[in-house]
Structure 1
Amino acid sequence: MPVRPTVLTGDRPTGPLHLGHYVGSLRNRVALQRDHRQFILVADAQALTDNAHDPAKVSRNVLEVAADYLAVGIDPAASTICVQSALPALAELTLLYLNFVSVARLERNPTIKDEIKARQFGRDIPAGFLCYPVAQAADITAFKATIVPVGDDQLPLIEQTNEIVRRINRQARRDILPDARGLLSRISRLPGIDGRAKMSKSQGNAITLSASDADIIAAVQAMYTDPDHLRVADPGRVEGNVVFTYLDAFDDDSATVADLKARYRRGGLGDVELKRRLARVLCDVIGPIRQRRADIARDPDTIRDILHAGTMAARGVTATTLAEVRQALGLFELTKPDKCPAPE
């Protein structure tokens, strides 16, 4: 039987998951889990890099994120769901890898630069946040993952992971860690309903996977379209129109969507009709997920059992990789060699 490729992915438990997560990664995870060896990390330690002032928020959202995973179709019999902070090998690998990357390189990482700007850290950057690419490299390599489903804004992190991999392999004088590649979904980045940024929990422009029909309708009604499309008869712009972006991502009837675009461009299609269709589509997508999530959330002990089993399995995998890296780097081993028995 051929070896299945290993996938590593995950999310920070800082709040409920949303449609951006769904199109950016969750759908890919469901599709990959049968033919790949997949590990899904609830990245609570990473979430502390900009939430250390409120660790309780991170802790209480671990079960919430796990419930979202199960609701969208992640099968714990096919995917290993584990908790980052309960895997000590990840922290030790991060510490070791920090010696193979410079502060200047971390500051040049486009993903980190954008996130620092968005959070308005200035120079008051938490060290853990700046070193996030190294921690992610530890996550990916600990599982020897070769595939990482990401949005396009995360690709620089994969590049930096592979830089660290190559430095460790050169130091070890053999290939002990594999390169990874980012796997983009068809819609790799979903804009927020305001049209000004990607969908984000922190920016309040997201539609969660547990949103009610009323919440979905209200969010769609607030969506950015074309500010120059003032009357139904006016020609409108499809490019940059958030409603059409969402229809491309979620409406399976691509022929009808193409017809709507043509009508909108030449005039004769109003925003109200367009948004009404999108609201129906999103309610159809989220409704079943919301119902499954409600059922799952009634049994938190089962969610805990799934996380415990997955984390224990992941501990073995990550501890093995750590031992290989320590040996390859020639670190001191505290254990004594077996002594020969004294002659009689």
Structure 2
Amino acid sequence: MYPDRVVSGMRPTGSMHLGHFHGALKNWIKMQSEHPCLFFVADWHALTTHYDDPAIIERSVWEMLVDWLAAGVDPSQATLFIQSKVPEHAELHLLLSMATPLGWLERVPTYKDQVENLANKDLSTYGFLGYPLLQAADVLIYRASLVPVGEDQVPHIEMMREIARRFNHLYGKEKGFEEKSIEAVKKLGSKRAKLYLELRTEYQQEGRDDALDQAHAMLDEAQNLSNIDRERLFGYLEGSRKLILVEPHAKLTAASRLPGLDGRKMSKSYGNAIALREDKDSVTKKIRTMPTDPARVRRTDVGDPLKCPVWQLHEVYSSNATREWVVKGCTTAGIGCLECKQPVIDAVIAEQEPMHERAQQYLDDPTLVRAIVADGCDKARKLAQETMRDVREAMGLSYS
């Protein structure tokens, strides 16, 4: 069984906004102290929608990395790297594409959503259709167990699991696998071997997930197994295949959908975002001009917070007492919309102050960011190369 590992990435389409912070970065910052984490800039993914203007990508890469560091991502705890600097991502993407059904790509919900929302771009390319598969390769190549994402990305994680499962089924065939697995079982000792076989039967015949979990825990504790025997026994638990790629799980954030200024999901492409390191005056102006409940045409009109985009920001930024004040004031016309918006403005500016401070050292000396990324790329590539050695061997491509 491979150790818990977190992998996530973002496309460098410009500076980060608060939606990225609340939807992903806050979770990254929390997880970096709990698990080994790899966070990457998905510059190849940026080409799926910016293939006709790649010049903006390089600038966006470094801007985004500074935003990550400003938000609190710590290079001493997490590995930061750039996707295109680890070419094994592309190799695994190519090999996975050979056995991935076309229908799996066409049914991903975000594919249709993006086509509709970015109607001004020609997205009838293989790169755009195939980006969920490249996304799968980005994660599977590190045998990650957890992927921190927003709700809209959950179908992608489910597809990654299906791809890993299909790959293991097609290529996890090892000559004499069952015989070798039975020999590995004996190495557990008579007591543990008996328990292992009982748990395997309970899982395979009765579908008991708790039996699978118990068996995994027992194998993790077994000291006298080689890595290859341990891997065989994990595969033997679930069937008669060697596990080569790990099925990842989605790790959702509590506030994975911070609304934009117009109430839709915050997105730079929608023009409704507040940048992570935006100027105070600009933040104030944007929030003060946000649309509110259409029923409040005049100051004296009562409103309904649930029909107002500003309320969704209060749910993220305001205390219970402030939210109670908003509900009472809005539903009785006791406060105006500008009064309602001020606590949000204050909270956003307060949240951004330390980000401005952390970013300054990297703005003053850009070589600091380059050094962090160079080190991260080296670490990531070593892990990726290990996986690709196993993938090539499984697919019969390890000949010389």
Shared fold by TM > 0.5? Answer: yes
Contact persistence 1:4–1:36 (CA under 8 A):
no
State the match for 2:285 in structure 1.
218
> How has the CA–CA distance of structure 1 residues 49 and 80 changed in structure 2, closer, same or farther, with 3 Å as cutoff?
same
Question: Which whole-Å CA distance do the structure 2 matches of 1:90 and 1:24 have between them?
Answer: 25
State the match for 1:119 in structure 2.
118
Say which of 213, 219, 227 aligns to 2:294. Answer: 227
Q: Map 1:1-344 onto structure 2 (within 5 A).
A: 5-120=4-119, 124-171=123-170, 172=172, 173-195=241-263, 197-251=264-318, 253-334=319-400
For residue 305 of structure 2, give the secondary structure of its aligned residue in structure 1.
coil
Question: Which whole-Å CA distance do the structure 2 matches of 1:332 and 1:38 have between them?
Answer: 29
Contact persistence 2:89–2:138 (CA under 8 A):
yes
Contact persistence 1:147–1:180 (CA under 8 A):
yes
How many Å apart are 1:96 and its aligned residue? 0.8
Contact persistence 1:50–1:126 (CA under 8 A):
no
Size of the alignment, in residue pairs?
331
Question: Which whole-Å CA distance do the structure 2 matches of 1:288 and 1:24 have between them?
Answer: 19
Point out where structure 2 has 5 or more consecutive residues left out of the alignment: 173-240
Alignment-mate amino acid for residue 261 of structure 2: I
Work out which of the two has the higher radius of gyration on C-alpha atoms and give 1 or 2. Answer: 2
Question: Which whole-Å CA distance do the structure 2 matches of 1:124 and 1:15 have between them?
Answer: 19
Contact persistence 1:15–1:64 (CA under 8 A):
yes
Question: Which whole-Å CA distance do the structure 2 matches of 1:265 and 1:174 have between them?
Answer: 61
Contact persistence 2:5–2:146 (CA under 8 A):
yes
Q: Could you report, residue by residue, the CA deviation over 1:295-320 in whole angstroms, capped at 9, with x for unpaired residues?
A: 32111101000000000100000111
Alignment-mate amino acid for residue 178 of structure 1: V
For residue 285 of structure 2, give the secondary structure of its aligned residue in structure 1.
helix
Question: Which whole-Å CA distance do the structure 2 matches of 1:224 and 1:17 have between them?
Answer: 23
Contact persistence 2:277–2:356 (CA under 8 A):
yes
For residue 100 of structure 1, give the secondary structure of its aligned residue in structure 2.
coil
Q: Could you report, residue by residue, the CA deviation over 1:47-83 in whole angstroms, capped at 9, with x for unpaired residues?
A: 1111111212111111111101111111101000010
How many Å apart are 1:4 and its aligned residue? 5.8
Alignment-mate amino acid for residue 228 of structure 1: A
TM-score normalised by length of structure 1 = 0.92
How many Å apart are 1:121 and its aligned residue? 6.8
> How has the CA–CA distance of structure 1 residues 89 and 222 changed in structure 2, closer, same or farther, with 3 Å as cutoff?
same
Point out where structure 1 has 5 or more consecutive residues left out of the alignment: 335-344
> How has the CA–CA distance of structure 1 residues 121 and 191 changed in structure 2, closer, same or farther, with 3 Å as cutoff?
same
State the match for 2:223 in structure 1.
none
Contact persistence 1:23–1:187 (CA under 8 A):
yes
TM-score normalised by length of structure 2 = 0.79
> How has the CA–CA distance of structure 1 residues 247 and 180 changed in structure 2, closer, same or farther, with 3 Å as cutoff?
same
RMSD: 1.8
Alignment-mate amino acid for residue 51 of structure 1: H
Question: Which whole-Å CA distance do the structure 1 matches of 2:7 and 2:168 have between them?
Answer: 20
How many Å apart are 1:3 and its aligned residue? 8.2
Alignment-mate amino acid for residue 249 of structure 1: V
